Each structure stands twice: as structure tokens, then as C-alpha cells.
Amino acid sequence: MDLTNKSLHAGLTASLAFGAGLVAVSVTMSLAPMAHANDSAPPPQEVDSIIPRTEENIARIGEDLTPMGSVRAGNDDGTIPEWTGGITRDMWPDGFEPGDRHPDPYADDEPLFVITADNFREHADRLTAGHKAAFERYPDTYRMKVYPTRRSASFSDRIYEMTKRNASSGRLVADGEGVADVAEGFPFPLPQNAFELVWNHKLKYKGTGGVRYWNQAVPTTRGSYQLIRLREEFLGLYYIEGNTIEDTNNILLYFFQEVESPSRLAGNILLVHESLNQVAQPRQAWIYNPGQRRVRRAPNVAYDNPGTASDGLRTNDMTDMFNGAMDRYDWEIVGLKEKYIPYNSYRAHSGDIDADDLIQPGHMNPDHLRYELHRVWVVDATLREGTRHINPRRTMYIEADSYQIAVIDHYDQRDNMWRLSEAHSINFYDIPTIWATLESSLDLQSGRYIVNGLDNQDPVATFTETLRPSNYTPQALRTRGRR
């Protein structure tokens, strides 16, 4: 979903994106089934790469499987190494302190090779359809620097503990639109179907109190742009240690976003209360318009409504790669594959560059991007009969160690390649968690693109701020908006 307030321009309505796309979907998470919940769930899918959820296999988590449930061993030819714990405290770059911008722990790595329009067919098996289309669309400028694979994903011991606990208890409800009997960690470390994989992405640890800049640019075909500075706060109740459903009062998160610039948009604020169980209580949202100096409720916006200030290059459900209800698609796991994906994107995260260094016509500057070979779950989402969406088909590539959706290929109504979305992720290793430092979406038909996360010259994102629910009420919004 979109991150900004759709009152930025007259006639626009508010988007319910939760800046980071933390979760925007009907959820019935609980440590015990909630009353009136629809307990129907999609069945397990029969795919060779799925590890059945048995007591014996659950015991393998943290052993020959990683604590996240992925295969610990490397691949046969050694191009994907064994997972040895990801980035741990002893691997932090010299001089780094929590709260600093994250230096590249792999700064000495050199590209193994560069994929270009001249040789991409030699690597076709490890490229997504969208990447192949990008080489064809931009033969002179699009390239992919492929570096050694670094399985950097790591999370806290608490997340590992709760993830293994969830492996025994977690379950889908509401036809896959909700989960139950889970807390804090990944809900499904042994995913049995596509719904469970997407839920792992949605509930990946994102901190209990976060503040960040999620700045946006929408370059023209010639590369000109205006940076929109967006400051966001999010208080995630699912991740607070020891929380039960009763403790959260059915609120998954509170989200606050303020537009700081340009001046014509500054002061617009969006506030969202995202419910755990949206059957019991739909999410609520309010906007503050500085011109009117008033708070009003915002309508629920989801699915393929255009993202705010995006020039139609992103739909609401493209924030955080994918968020929101899954009910308009049929979901299927294609398999576990090896693909080149953006990963360990510390150069794009660096404070030594700015938006001008990253933005160029057609796509971001490939000199600052890093790709690696990783195992990914390939998930196809195809439009369900009787529903509508401008993307009738999406193919998602979900990195197996972190469950971060790394790449999505979007198809148009004629089943032609349309858009290529990427999450350029890093391990925020002082937390630790894997998350996007940049998200981009290339429209391969119009020749334009959109990018979010251009915070290189702003304070780095934080995840452990002390935030209180009392700061995220409509009344508090009035006070903050008038300051």
C-alpha cells in the first residue's frame, strides 16, 4: 500500500500503506483461536521442496535447517555457501555503534561477473522473467553486478525461539487471510503453501518502535525528479516480547506518517490503527490536512488503487513488495529455485551517496547495486475468477533465509511483462533483521520507474524507539498536526 497521505493533492483519499508495508490484511493472530474466526485454511501443497510439518522435521529447525527453517547447507556447486549464522556481533565493521548508518561488512568483495544485454541469455536459468525483460528494454544501460553470495540473514535468539515454537502451533484461518496461535517470530518456518510463505514475509521482525525516512522519487523518462521526504513512525505490537492478543487490544501496529517536503505537500499526516483481527475490527485511519487544520477519517484503500504521488507506477498493495488481503488471487508455490536477486545492498544504503547518485533515466544506477545468487521460493499469484486487479498475474521470489520478497514480476491484462519490482535489502545488523533499504518498481512499458527509501542523507532508520499508543490517537494527531 502507499505510504503517503492522499490528501497531498485535492480529491485524493488517504492510503493505508503503513509506510513499511508492515501488514495490511485481515489478521486473526492469536495464542488461542479468537471468537467467531473462520478456521478454514488452504491445504498443504504438494511440491518437492516443501518440508512436511512433522515433529521430526520441527526438531531439525536450528540443526540441519536454519532457525528460520531454510536449508542450512550450501548448494552442490558451492555458489551458495552454508548458512553459518548470518551477520553476528563479531562481524560488525570496526567503529560501528548501534544507531550509526550501517557500513558494508562486505566492502572488499569484487563482482564475480557482470550480466549485460550481450550475455544475459547465458544466465537465463537464474534470472527472473522481469530481469530478462529489463535487459531487452535497456540494452545499453541495464546491467547486473553479481557478487559472492553472503547468507547474511540473522535475527535475535528470541525470534529464533519463538519461530520454533510457532512451528508447532501456527495455523492459517479465514481461508488464509489470517493466522492464529503464533507470536513474535516467523509464523511458519516450515511453510506448506503459498499463503504461509507470504505471511512469513508480512510478519518478519520489524522492530517494536521504528522511526525512518522513506523518501520517494518518480523520475521522468529523462531522469528528472523531485524528492518527497516522508518521515514515518510505527509501533509494532506483534513483536513486543511476551505480548498476548489481550495485551495488544487487537492492534497489530500504529503507523504515523508526515510529509516534510516539498513545501506544497508538507504537513500532511496519515495515522493508521491496523487491527490484528479485521473481521472483529477493520483497520482505522485518519488524515490531518494542514490547509483545513482538521482531522478526518480516511477510507480504506487497498488492492490496485494507485499509490500516492506515484504517477500510477505503484499500486497500494505494492508497498513492502506485497501487502494486503490475498483474496483476489489464487496462490501457488512453483518451487524452490536459485536466482540472482538484490541482496546486501549496503552501497545503495551508504551515506556517501545521495539520490542524485542513484537516479538515472529508466532504472537506478547499477554501479551502486549488488546482486547475489540465493535460494528463493517462487510463488505465482493469478487473478481469481470473479475478481479484478490491474495485475492479473504476479510472480514473487521470496528469499528462503529471510522470507523477504526480493523480486516480483508483474504481468498486464495480455499476460505481457509489465513491471519489475525489487527490494534492495540489507541486514540491519544491530537489531538484527533483514529488510529493504530501497524499493523500486520499473515500468518496462512506459520506461519510467519509482523508488522509495532514499534516506542516504537523512538519519538512519531505528527500530527500538520508546513509542506509546497514546501518541497515536485522533486527538494526538490534532495536536501534532498543529505544531
pLDDT single digits (tens) 456-470 = 999 999 999 999 999
CA distance 268 to 287: 7
> Looking at residues 392-398, what average pLDDT do you find?
98
Predicted pLDDT of residue 247: 76
Predicted pLDDT of residue 243: 84
- What is the tens place of the pLDDT at every residue in 292-307? 889 988 876 578 887 7
Query: Which of the four pLDDT bands, split at 50, 70 and 90, describes residue 125?
Result: very high
**What is the reported pTM?**
0.90
As a whole number of Å, the end-to-end CA separation of the chain is 27
3-state secondary structure the chain: CCCCCHHHCCCCCCCCCCCCCCCCCCCCCCCCCCCCCCCCCCCCCCCCCCCCCCHHHHCCECCCECCCCCECCCCCCCCCCCCCCCCCHHHCCCCCCCCCCCCCCCCCCCCCEEECCCCHHHHHHHCCHHHHHHHHHCCCCCCEEECCCCCCCCCCHHHHHHHHHHHHHCEEEHHHCEEECCCCCCCCCCCCCHHHHHHHHHCCCCCCEEEEECCEECCCCCCCCCCEEEEEEEEECCCCCCCCHHHHCCEEEEEEEEEEECCCCCCCEEEEEEECCCCCCCCEEEEEECCCCEEEECCCCCCCCECCCCCCCCEHHHCCCCCCCCCCEEEEEEEEEEEEEECCCHHHHCCCCCHHHHCCCCCCCHHHCCEEEEEEEEEEEEECCCCCCCCCEEEEEEECCCCCEEEEEEECCCCCEEEEEEEEEEECCCCCCEEEEEEEEEECCCCEEEEECCCCCCCCCECECCCCHHHCCHHHHHHHHCC
The residue with greater pLDDT, 268 or 283, is 268
Taking phi over 0 as left and psi of -120 to 50 as alpha, with beta for the rest, 11 belongs to: left
Could you tell me which residues are beta bridge partners of residue 139?
Answer: none
Q: For residue 394, what are the contacts with CB-CB under 8 A and spacing of at least 6?
A: 322, 329, 380, 381, 408, 409, 410, 411
CA distance 234 to 184: 16
The residue with greater pLDDT, 316 or 342, is 342
The residue with greater pLDDT, 118 or 268, is 118
The residue with greater pLDDT, 393 or 265, is 393
> Looking at residues 321-333, what average pLDDT do you find?
92
Distance from the Cα of residue 163 to its chain's centroid? 19
Q: Which fold has domain 6-481?
A: outer membrane lipoprotein receptor (LolB), chain A (2.50.20)
Predicted pLDDT of residue 319: 86
Predicted pLDDT of residue 472: 95
> Looking at residues 389-393, what average pLDDT do you find?
97
Predicted pLDDT of residue 47: 93
Query: Which of the four pLDDT bands, split at 50, 70 and 90, describes residue 389?
Result: very high
Predicted pLDDT of residue 38: 58
> What phi and psi values does residue 414 have, to the nearest 5 degrees?
-95, 10
Q: For residue 379, what are the contacts with CB-CB under 8 A and spacing of at least 6?
A: 194, 197, 198, 331, 332, 333, 334, 395, 396, 397, 398
Predicted pLDDT of residue 63: 98
Judge whether residue 133 has pLDDT over 80.
Answer: yes
> What phi and psi values does residue 270 have, to the nearest 5 degrees?
-120, 135
The residue with greater pLDDT, 22 or 38, is 38
Query: Which of the four pLDDT bands, split at 50, 70 and 90, describes residue 67?
Result: very high
Judge whether residue 246 has pLDDT over 80.
Answer: no
Judge whether residue 21 has pLDDT over 70.
Answer: no
Q: For residue 125, what are the contacts with CB-CB under 8 A and spacing of at least 6?
A: none
Predicted pLDDT of residue 14: 37
**Domain boundaries in the chain?**
6-481
- What is the tens place of the pLDDT at every residue in 153-198? 999 999 999 999 999 999 998 888 888 899 999 999 999 999 999 9
Predicted pLDDT of residue 418: 98
Judge whether residue 147 has pLDDT over 50.
Answer: yes
Predicted pLDDT of residue 245: 62
Predicted pLDDT of residue 483: 65
Could you tell me which residues are beta bridge partners of residue 171?
Answer: 180
